[in-house]
């Protein structure tokens, strides 16, 4: 969002404050500051070297910037929702950053509107809720919700590939779009909405819930009932249908093995396309803020340094990283850094010797014989971990995996669990 070079030590405090405000305001994002060596070595007086005034968090900064918004727009939004028969809330990372989790559920319950979250965004549904219908934008393309909605309420969410860019055939041409975002520039991103509200998402959601607390239209209630049934059938296929494992486990087996361990205390990180798809599909009866993913860019390789950061931010919470082998290899040497700084966590590496999601896509389009540049070597991540000073384990049984993770939570050393799996993506099986 901002890149600056600080040429004078006198400017240091001012620019650092500006950097934090920019990073945390509107749609949160990265800021880069370059500080030349002569500035780092320069002496600073008391006024210059004082502690920068940094906002406490994104939500408090947004509230101070967007405390007042047009009540007429809220009225128009209420009318749009009341006139709809098949509304759908798409709750993006902006809901999380505005601390809007409770407000999101409040609106959903007040107006009987189902909720989905774009895959890879920050979650805002802390506990299982009947109105939460999982993630959208996953490889499965299901359950079919966007295509049948007559009103899409985008709250702190971006118009991108995960929602089909809100173009036909992903949505109907006559579908209305309502957008709510803390960053005014985001409101016209991707597609011009029928109504746009620049506001702190939590505040706007609460206002809408207050105005929509009256009895809902029966047609909307029928729509909610129908979408819940679609979601139930879709979930049943993921939870109940065990994929063929032959001699190797699949991503399905890994995710179901760790599922009971994901308590409210655990910080859970997901890194990797194929195993990430499995995790979002199998686990998505809720999507809490303590689950951390790569974000909309779908970048891989961030998981290992992410687990180290999670240990620093949440020193008293168990940290579990679920990663693919390709993603984990990006920053493999950082295991030594984690050991050196005594940053303990558990990493489960789903090792299919491939960029699994790419292999599945190529096989589906071009056939097995035409899969190219997507296979990886046979890396023993457990032995690499041991060589770098960490605990290394290799597990090929789901029951042993759960026990290994539990033991890793008690260790003061990073624990890397190498799990050989077959190259099967969710779309290969379900």
Higher pLDDT, 415 or 192: 415
pLDDT band at 141 (very low <50, low <70, confident <90, very high): low
The mean pLDDT of 285-303, rounded to a whole number, is 87
Has residue 140 got a pLDDT over 70? no
Which pLDDT score is estimated for 63? 58
Q: Summarize pLDDT for 89-107 with one digit per residue, the tens.
A: 999 999 999 999 999 999 9
Instruction: Verify that 167 and 298 share a domain, yes or no.
Output: no
- The residue from 55, 80, 95 where one domain ends is 55
Which pLDDT score is estimated for 430? 60
Instruction: Verify that 376 and 245 share a domain, yes or no.
Output: yes
Q: Please give the tally of structural domains in the chain.
A: 3
Strand partners, 91: 155
Asked whether 250 and 275 are in contact (CB, 8 A), the reply is: no
Which pLDDT score is estimated for 427? 67
CA count, 13 A, side-chain hemisphere, 247: 0
Has residue 214 got a pLDDT over 80? no
Q: Summarize pLDDT for 304-358 with one digit per residue, the tens.
A: 999 999 999 999 999 999 999 999 999 999 999 999 999 999 999 999 999 988 8
CATH number, domain at 366? 3.40.50.970
The mean pLDDT of 164-175, rounded to a whole number, is 94
Which pLDDT score is estimated for 202? 94
Which pLDDT score is estimated for 412? 95
Poorest-pLDDT segment among 6-10, 104-108, 276-280, 415-419: 276-280
Q: Are strands 267-271 and 176-181 parallel, antiparallel or unpaired?
A: unpaired
Which pLDDT score is estimated for 360? 85
Instruction: Verify that 366 and 395 share a domain, yes or no.
Output: yes
Has residue 291 got a pLDDT over 90? yes
CATH number, domain at 207? 3.40.50.1220
Q: Which domain holds residue 17?
A: 2-55
> What whole-number distance in Å separates Cα of residue 314 and Cα of residue 266?
10
Has residue 67 got a pLDDT over 60? no
Instruction: Verify that 68 and 138 share a domain, yes or no.
Output: yes
The mean pLDDT of 231-250, rounded to a whole number, is 77
Instruction: Verify that 214 and 87 share a domain, yes or no.
Output: yes
Instruction: Verify that 193 and 316 share a domain, yes or no.
Output: no
Asked whether 31 and 23 are in contact (CB, 8 A), the reply is: yes
Q: Tokens representing 74? A: 């809220």
Strand partners, 322: 270, 348
Instruction: Verify that 225 and 250 share a domain, yes or no.
Output: no
Instruction: Verify that 105 and 155 share a domain, yes or no.
Output: yes
Has residue 373 got a pLDDT over 80? yes
- The residue from 234, 258, 281 where one domain ends is 234
**Could you tell me which of 415, 291, 429 has the C-alpha nearest to residue 356?**
429
Asked whether 315 and 308 are in contact (CB, 8 A), the reply is: no
Cα-Cα-Cα-Cα torsion 201, 207, 213, 219, nearest 10 degrees, comes to -50
Which pLDDT score is estimated for 60? 62
Q: Mean pLDDT, the chain, as a whole number?
A: 90
Strand partners, 125: 287
> What whole-number distance in Å separates Cα of residue 345 and Cα of residue 411?
8
Instruction: Verify that 245 and 226 share a domain, yes or no.
Output: no
HEC readout, the chain: CEEEECCCHHHHHHHHHHHHHHHHCCCCCCEEEECCHHHHHCCCCHHHHCCCCCCCCHHHHHHHHCCCCCHHHHHHHHHHHHHCCCEEEEECHHHHHCCCHHHHHHHHHHHCCCEEEECCCCCCECCCCCCEEEEECCCCCCCCCHHHCCEEEEECCCCCHHHHHHCCCCCCCCCEEEEEECCHHHCCCCCCCCEEEECCHHHHHHHHHHHCCCCCCHHHHHHHHHHHHHHHHHHHHHHHCCCCCCCCECHHHHHHHHHHHCCCCCEEEEECHHHHHHHHHHHCCCECCCEECCCCCCCCCCHHHHHHHHHHHCCCCCEEEEEEHHHHHCCCCHHHHHHHCCCCCEEEEEECCECHHHHHHHHHHHCHHHCCCCECCCCCHHHHHHHCCCEEEECCCHHHHHHHHHHHHCCCCCEEEEEEECCCCHHHHC
Which pLDDT score is estimated for 71? 84
Question: Cα angle at 380 between 281 and 316, to 5 degrees?
Answer: 60
pLDDT band at 143 (very low <50, low <70, confident <90, very high): confident
214 exposure class (CB count in 10 Å sphere: 0-12, 13-18, 19+):
exposed
pLDDT band at 294 (very low <50, low <70, confident <90, very high): confident
Q: Summarize pLDDT for 6-50 with one digit per residue, the tens.
A: 999 989 888 998 998 888 887 788 999 999 999 999 988 766 666
Instruction: Verify that 76 and 17 share a domain, yes or no.
Output: no
Which pLDDT score is estimated for 55? 65
Instruction: Verify that 250 and 307 share a domain, yes or no.
Output: yes
- The residue from 216, 234, 252 where one domain ends is 234
Distant-in-sequence, close-in-space partners of 45: CB < 8 Å, separation ≥ 6 = none
pLDDT band at 194 (very low <50, low <70, confident <90, very high): very high
pLDDT band at 56 (very low <50, low <70, confident <90, very high): low
pLDDT band at 61 (very low <50, low <70, confident <90, very high): low
Poorest-pLDDT segment among 48-52, 159-163, 179-183, 279-283: 48-52
Distance of CA 29 to the CA centre of its chain: 15
pLDDT band at 424 (very low <50, low <70, confident <90, very high): confident
Poorest-pLDDT segment among 46-55, 174-183, 255-264, 301-310: 46-55
Instruction: Verify that 10 and 93 share a domain, yes or no.
Output: no
The mean pLDDT of 39-66, rounded to a whole number, is 68
The mean pLDDT of 394-409, rounded to a whole number, is 96
């Amino acid at each position: 969002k901002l890149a600056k070079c600080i040429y004078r030590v006198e400017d240091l405090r001012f620019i650092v404050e500006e950097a934090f405000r920019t990073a945390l305001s509107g749609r949160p994002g990265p800021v880069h500051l370059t500080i030349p060596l002569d500035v780092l070595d320069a002496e600073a007086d008391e006024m210059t070297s004082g502690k920068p005034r940094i906002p406490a968090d994104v939500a408090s900064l947004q509230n101070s910037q967007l405390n007042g918004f047009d009540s007429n727009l809220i009225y128009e939004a209420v009318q749009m929702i009341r006139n709809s028969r098949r509304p759908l809330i798409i709750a993006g990372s902006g809901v999380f950053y505005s601390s809007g989790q409770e407000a999101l559920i409040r609106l959903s319950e007040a107006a009987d509107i189902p909720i989905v979250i774009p895959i890879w965004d920050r979650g805002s549904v802390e506990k299982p809720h009947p109105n939460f219908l999982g993630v959208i934008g996953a490889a499965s393309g299901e359950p079919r919700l966007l295509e049948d909605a007559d009103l899409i309420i985008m709250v702190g969410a971006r118009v991108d590939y995960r929602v089909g860019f809100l173009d036909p055939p992903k949505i109907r041409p006559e579908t209305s779009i309502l957008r709510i975002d803390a960053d005014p520039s985001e409101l016209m991103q991707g597609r011009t909405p029928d109504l746009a509200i620049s506001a702190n998402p939590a505040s706007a959601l609460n206002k809408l819930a207050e105005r929509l607390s009256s009895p809902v239209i029966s047609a909307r209630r029928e729509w909610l009932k129908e979408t819940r049934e679609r979601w139930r059938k879709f979930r049943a296929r993921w939870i109940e249908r065990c994929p063929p494992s032959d001699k190797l486990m699949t991503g399905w087996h890994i995710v179901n093995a760790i599922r009971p361990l994901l308590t409210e205390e655990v910080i859970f990180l997901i890194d990797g396309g194929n195993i990430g798809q499995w995790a979002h599909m199998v686990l998505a009866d809720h999507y809490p803020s303590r689950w951390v993913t790569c974000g909309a860019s779908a970048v891989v390789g961030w998981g290992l340094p992410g687990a180290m950061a999670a240990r620093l931010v949440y020193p008293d919470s168990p940290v579990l990283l679920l990663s693919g082998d390709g993603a984990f290899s990006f920053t493999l040497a950082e295991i030594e850094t984690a050991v050196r700084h005594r940053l303990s966590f558990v990493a489960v590496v789903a090792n299919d010797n491939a960029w699994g999601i790419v292999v599945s896509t190529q096989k589906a389009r071009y056939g097995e014989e035409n899969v190219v540049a997507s296979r990886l070597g046979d890396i023993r991540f457990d032995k690499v971990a041991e060589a770098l000073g960490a605990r290394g384990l290799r597990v090929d049984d789901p029951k042993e995996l759960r026990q290994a993770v539990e033991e890793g939570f008690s260790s003061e050393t990073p624990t890397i669990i190498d799990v050989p799996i077959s190259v099967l993506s969710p779309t290969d099986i379900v």
